[in-house]
């Protein structure tokens, strides 16, 4: 807790350094509160330090998984960096927003922010700037791979791979990008080399929270490419470092990625207890998000009594928020946008005793589609599905891309008959697209599997209960042969691992 006084530049700098150490040691919540207090207590000569504080707060809220508030602070930081002519921090803030958008799968928009950062910093010659530039180029390269621009990523890979291993500028983003790039171009020897470099970097990292996004992306990459031995090696190291810090968002990620690993290797004995832990963490995350919203409102009210935002910045914030909640590839809502709307609609249904439903679906045999036609065609396929889904949008039907080839639809103020009619129409509409899929064992075109659950919220039932039940129904559909839908009223008590039709899991773990 800071003293209730105004701080001059020298005092504020000392406090910032102390709080940065406090944050890297895992005291995230306390550090956020202290930085907020300091932001409101800067003397006139220390106002420029608000740029630094906004940057740090943006990073801390990103680590916590609170992207809207992170975006708020990063946007404030950009405006302040321009006011005080601090281009290095402006570049760093653009870079941080790019990283945040990567977390929401907005790769194309993230590219723009990384390019802006690179443009700002290219002519500044100092050690810190060189380090940020390498980070930006690495992150830009990873985005280019995700959007299918491998040719554009190639010169970045050539430049960064020429840097000596273990120098002061190479970081987790660099090793991750190079591992992904060489995996894509089928140079498995080099890919393995950079995988080992990344694991070594994780083992010796002195500030793991600052690289946690890269470490998380690295674990996903190892899992997607089937490198299970390397995955367990990296997971154990990351868990040993992060778990003692007891940060909810990090614990949630560790549990979710472990569930996905157990699912992929079909380890049912370990999967079920891990899923129970995952559910507990997701409930806790829901409560934390509510507390964050209240804390954010309280902070904004107190801060606005002291500072006044410029109209242009407010508009820019709104524009960035829309981007953060929209799936870059398909143009429909992303998971972040869906979750915000879902909570609002679920609470309304709870208070007014209204029926609410969720349709969780994915594309059948989509991995083999990507293997057969390539990822660019895969992206085109996902866009066509989203366009088809968008044609159903209404005040009662809210579609979103949940991640990968998974989509989710929120259904409100509809009868059970209307919900089932929607499921049938969606099934037929996707078939009518006639998207060829020669790798599909049954149909020779793209089909979908849907899991639908509905209820009138009551008692202790939470929104996540409905999501989970819809996911159970999706899995039941997969078990019975795909290309269809399973719909029933929410009836979850506890899903035993031996229960017929639900043996494997109740969450699709492709995120």
DSSP string of 218-278, one letter each residue: HHHHHHHTT-HHHHHHHHHHHHHHHGGG--HHHHHHHHHHHHHHHHHTT-HHHHHHHHHHH
Asked if 125 and 133 count as a contact pair (C-beta separation under 8 A), the reply is no
pTM of the model: 0.56
Helix pair 188-204, 172-184: axis angle to 10 deg: 160
Residue 274 lies in a domain: no
**Nearest-CA neighbor of 191 among 204, 206, 202, 180?**
180
Max Cα distance, the chain (Å): 71
Asked if 504 and 271 count as a contact pair (C-beta separation under 8 A), the reply is yes
Residue 184 lies in a domain: no
Domain that holds residue 406: 327-489
Instruction: At 410, give phi and psi (nearest 5°).
Output: -95, 130
Residue 375 lies in a domain: yes
Tens of pLDDT, residues 174-183: 999 999 999 9
**Domain count of the fold of the chain:** 1
Residue 176 lies in a domain: no
Q: What angle do CA 256, 205, 146 make, to 5 degrees?
A: 50
Give the 3-state secondary structure of residue 406.
strand
Give the 3-state secondary structure of residue 104.
coil
First CA to last CA across the chain, in angstroms?
38
pLDDT band at residue 301, thresholds of 50, 70 and 90? very low
Residue 87 lies in a domain: no
Residue 33 lies in a domain: no
Residue 112 lies in a domain: no
The DSSP-derived string for 126-146 is SHHHHHHHHHHHHHHHHHHHH
Q: Which two tokens stand for residue 346?
A: 């679920």
Distance CA 313, CA 296 (A): 18
Tens of pLDDT, residues 53-107: 998 998 888 877 777 888 888 988 898 898 888 888 899 899 989 988 887 778 8
Neighbours of 432 (CB within 10 A): 10
Q: Comparing 9-23, 108-122, 294-308, 412-426, which segment has the lowest mean pLDDT? A: 294-308
For residue 38, CA distances in Å to 24, 43, 90, 302 come to 18, 10, 21, 13
Residue 35 lies in a domain: no
114 compared with 28, residue with greater pLDDT = 114
Q: Is the confidence at residue 505, as pLDDT, over 60?
A: no
pLDDT the model gives residue 499: 37
CATH no. for residue 409? 3.30.70.270
Tens of pLDDT, residues 199-211: 998 888 776 666 7
């Amino acid at each position: 807790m800071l003293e209730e006084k105004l701080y001059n530049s020298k005092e504020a700098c000392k406090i910032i350094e102390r709080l940065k150490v406090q944050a890297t040691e895992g005291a995230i919540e306390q550090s956020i509160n202290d930085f907020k207090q300091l932001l409101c207590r800067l003397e006139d000569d220390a106002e420029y330090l608000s740029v630094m504080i906004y940057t740090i707060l943006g990073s801390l809220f990103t680590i916590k998984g609170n992207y809207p508030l992170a975006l708020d602070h990063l946007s404030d930081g950009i405006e302040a960096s321009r006011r005080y002519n601090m281009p290095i921090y402006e570049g760093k803030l653009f870079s941080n927003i790019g990283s945040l958008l990567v977390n929401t799968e907005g790769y194309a928009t993230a590219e723009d922010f990384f390019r802006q950062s690179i443009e700002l910093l290219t002519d500044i010659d100092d050690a810190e700037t060189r380090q940020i530039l390498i980070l930006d180029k690495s992150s830009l390269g990873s985005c280019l791979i995700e959007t299918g621009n491998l040719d554009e990523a190639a010169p970045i890979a050539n430049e960064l791979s020429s840097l000596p291993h273990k120098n002061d500028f190479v970081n987790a983003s660099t090793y991750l990008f190079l591992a992904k790039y060489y995996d894509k171009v089928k140079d498995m020897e080099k890919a393995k080399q950079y995988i080992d470099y990344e694991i070594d970097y994780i083992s010796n990292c002195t500030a793991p929270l600052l690289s946690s996004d890269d470490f998380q992306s690295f674990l996903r990459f190892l899992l997607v490419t089937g490198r299970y031995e390397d995955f367990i090696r990296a997971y154990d190291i990351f868990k040993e470092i992060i778990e003692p810090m007891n940060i909810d968002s990090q614990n949630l990620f560790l549990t979710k990625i472990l569930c996905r690993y157990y699912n992929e290797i079909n380890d049912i004995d370990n999967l079920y207890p891990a899923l129970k832990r995952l559910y507990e963490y997701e409930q806790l995350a829901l409560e934390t998000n509510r507390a964050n919203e209240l804390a954010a409102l309280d902070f904004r009210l107190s801060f606005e009594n002291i500072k006044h935002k410029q109209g242009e910045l407010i508009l820019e914030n709104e524009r960035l928020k829309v981007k953060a909640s929209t799936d870059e590839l398909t143009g429909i809502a992303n998971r972040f946008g869906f979750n915000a709307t879902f909570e609002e609609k679920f609470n309304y249904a709870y208070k007014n005793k209204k029926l609410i439903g969720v349709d969780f679906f994915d594309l059948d045999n989509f991995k083999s589609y990507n293997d057969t036609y390539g990822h660019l065609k895969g992206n085109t396929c996902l866009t066509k599905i989203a366009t088809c889904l968008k044609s159903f949008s209404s005040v009662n039907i809210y579609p979103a891309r949940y991640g990968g080839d998974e989509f989710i639809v929120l259904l409100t103020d509809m009868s059970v008959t209307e919900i089932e009619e929607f499921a049938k129409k969606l099934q037929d509409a996707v078939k009518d697209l006639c998207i060829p899929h020669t790798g599909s064992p049954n149909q020779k075109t793209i089909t979908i599997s849907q899991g639908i659950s509905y209820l009138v919220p009551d008692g202790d039932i939470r929104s996540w209960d409905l999501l989970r039940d819809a996911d159970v129904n999706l899995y039941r559909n997969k078990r019975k042969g795909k290309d269809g839908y399973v719909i029933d009223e929410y009836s979850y008590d506890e899903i035993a691992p031996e229960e017929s039709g639900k043996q494997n899991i109740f969450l699709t773990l492709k995120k």
